[in-house]
Chains A and B, each alone.
Chain A
Amino acid sequence: MTAEVAGRTGRSRWFWAGLMFASFGAIAALRITDAIGKSTGFILLACTMLLIIPLTRAGLAHQRTTGRLSPAVVRYTRRFTVASLGYMLGLGIAITLSQRMELSGAGAFAIALLPVLPIFAMIWTMARYLIEEDDEFLRHRATMASLFGLGLVLAAGSFWGFLETFGVVPHIDAWWTFPVWAIGMGIAQCWMGWRDRAGAES
């Protein structure tokens, strides 16, 4: 079966994304209400993260049908999927270890690296995409999206930092920088994609 056929007959990326976020919400609700323990919660979260595989496949099939799929996009998506799964695994191990033992010194440094190394891999993946993408328009869009994400991180981080200094808001861990950057990048890509569709040939 070709990817085009799979894209037409398989479930859409929105279905898989919705299922993934609904699962995250359900697991969070079960944890908040103490219906499940920490270990069960992590196992369910890990299982839910596997939904990223069909989500990725559906996303690639969609991009193929809209003519946005380049070899660089395929490599980027595969690398990012592997890094995301590695992040989930590293994060789970790091949280579990931090809850079960007193961390300090070199041990804490090593355990902190578990979720961070996959994040480094994600950043490297983004850099490789910008290097490997031959389509200058797609490269331009990815650059603009990452710049928007960076702008969001700098603006939100600076504002929150001063609010925290003045005691208005609670402390937020610095690892939020990467998710905020990724959210900003996603917002910009969605916006530019919407603009593309609005200007597409009838």
Chain B
Amino acid sequence: MLDGLARPGRGRIVKNRLKVLRAERDWSQQDLAQRLEVSRQSVNAIETGRYDPSLPLAFRIAALFDMPIEAIFTPD
């Protein structure tokens, strides 16, 4: 059950290319976190699929990489 608390809403997984996009720019998780003004834990949780960002944060991520949201986040 604790597992479910850490990642609720199982079965509605959204995949993302955050790790690849970050690696292409040679950014660490901390670098990306600072650019997005979130914690490194947030970046880590999003990258590993344990947390799906809200729409406002998804828009910020898309704006940072200068890409449309659907090019970064895709339904599983």
Contacts and interface: CB of A to CB of B under 8 A. Distances in A.
B38 A137 contact: yes
A199 B51 CA distance: 12
B42 A135 contact: yes
Contacts of B47: 201
A187 B45 CA distance: 19
Q: B-side binding surface: helix, strand, loop or mixed?
A: helix
A50 to B, nearest CB: 30
Nearest to B2: A191
A12 B38 CA distance: 25
Interface size class of A (residues with CB under 8 A): 20 to 34
A144 B45 contact: no
A140 B38 CA distance: 13
Contacts of B2: 148, 187-188, 191-192
B54 A192 contact: no
Given A144-B8, A191-B6, A138 B44 contact: no
Interface of B: 2-3, 5-6, 8, 28-30, 33, 37-42, 44-48, 50-51, 53-54, 57
Given A137-B38, A148-B2, 16 more contacts: A66-B40, A67-B33, A68-B39, A70-B39, A134-B37, A135-B38, A138-B39, A141-B6, A144-B6, A148-B5, A191-B6, A192-B2, A196-B41, A199-B45, A199-B50, A201-B28
19 contacts: A66-B41, A67-B41, A68-B39, A134-B37, A136-B38, A137-B46, A137-B51, A137-B53, A138-B39, A138-B42, A144-B6, A148-B2, A148-B5, A191-B5, A191-B6, A192-B5, A196-B44, A199-B50, A201-B44
